[in-house]
Structure 1
């Protein structure tokens, strides 16, 4: 058995979607607020680990973080788009934990392109009912942490939402933006959020912004665990692939 980490690292300043005020108003911050001693403070500085100015040495290291639920690798619950939808702590864990997952590889897509249902169909991959459809574009591997990640993002067209939902999946996962980038294009109300509405409206959890999908086999077991945030719309997640 091999365990492949499919999760992007959580770091101070990691970028959210452009032109959305709450990402700018609530930046990601992960920093040590206390340290064991001065030796550890120096060690953390050498490693580039953020330490709050004036952090006390109290014989233990403690960290505080501020993190939006939709930055980096995360899972969306229906409540993200639907006022009375299920919260992330209400999504059944068997939808995202130890589920058979199948990779649909469209990593030939170029920056700025949109993946369509025809692109998925042309791979010849069959997604069985109850599996997790994993769409691989390799975009996070190519561009995460760079300005072009958002400026030239690969995305999923609305037809992908319909195609995936028609397979009867337990969940859907991807390593690119899940729909047309509204910060780059003028969209109609029907286009904006189309895949979120399609999937979350059908109670299909969305596992977003995976990485390292080239290291798993075409079929593998996925483990995607959100934090148990009571009543909330989504959560950061640690996602791994288990390959026999």
Structure 2
């Protein structure tokens, strides 16, 4: 499973086998930021909230999927504004770049993925977005060595979801209920999460 380039690969090792032991159980070894996962403020903000301290009500939100298009490494404010609707204000925003369909151990997938520019992050903050997800390994391009997008969003309390999948199954601009529940790991900078988008029924 491809993960952030400097992270070790996850290992899921059978320990108990039903035919031998009467039960099945596995040992997992992985970074907390493996697969679809939540970034907590503590990931980049010294003294910031850890993943177990994120209020549950921030992890369940009305949300929308958007497809701003990928034209280079950065998704800019202008790219977001082109697909923006006033209904999106204050919601969760899931950004479908199509990158999850390229998942592979390639330089393109590991290092060339698109992400938010700093002005795009500022735009999301101006729209009071509470949660933002993306289908790439990071919310900003790998070349952003200062991680300014992470810092701006996390310092404002925005929940970040990275390495999402199946966003192409969502209808752009349709309202969903987004549920993003990480493992409640005390003191952790993030955690693997199961994220779902449920159709809103009125």
Whole-Å separation in 2 of the counterparts to 1:124 and 1:165 = 14
Which residue is 1:122 aligned to?
Answer: 82
Whole-Å separation in 2 of the counterparts to 1:125 and 1:139 = 23
User: Against the structure 1 CA distance between its residues 180 and 15, is the aligned structure 2 distance closer, same or farther, given a 3 Å change threshold?
Assistant: same
- Does the 8 Å CA contact 2:111/2:142 hold for their aligned counterparts? no
Provide the aligned C-alpha RMSD in A: 1.7
Structure 1: which 4+ aligned runs deviate by more than 4 Å? none
Whole-Å separation in 1 of the counterparts to 2:135 and 2:194 = 14
Aligned length: 196
Whole-Å separation in 1 of the counterparts to 2:29 and 2:111 = 25
> Could you list the runs of 5+ residues in structure 2 that have no partner in the other structure?
none
Whole-Å separation in 2 of the counterparts to 1:76 and 1:207 = 6
Whole-Å separation in 2 of the counterparts to 1:207 and 1:152 = 19
Q: Which has the larger radius of gyration?
A: 1
**SS of equivalent residue, structure 1 residue 220:** strand
Query: Counterparts of 1:76-225 in structure 2 under 5 Å?
Result: 76-97=39-60, 99-106=61-68, 108-109=69-70, 112-140=72-100, 142-147=101-106, 148-176=108-136, 177-182=138-143, 192-217=146-171, 218-225=174-181
Which residue is 1:66 aligned to?
Answer: 29
Which residue is 2:13 aligned to?
Answer: 31
User: Against the structure 1 CA distance between its residues 167 and 127, is the aligned structure 2 distance closer, same or farther, given a 3 Å change threshold?
Assistant: farther
Q: 2:182 aligns with which of 222, 226, 232?
A: 226
> Could you list the runs of 5+ residues in structure 1 that have no partner in the other structure?
1-13, 38-56
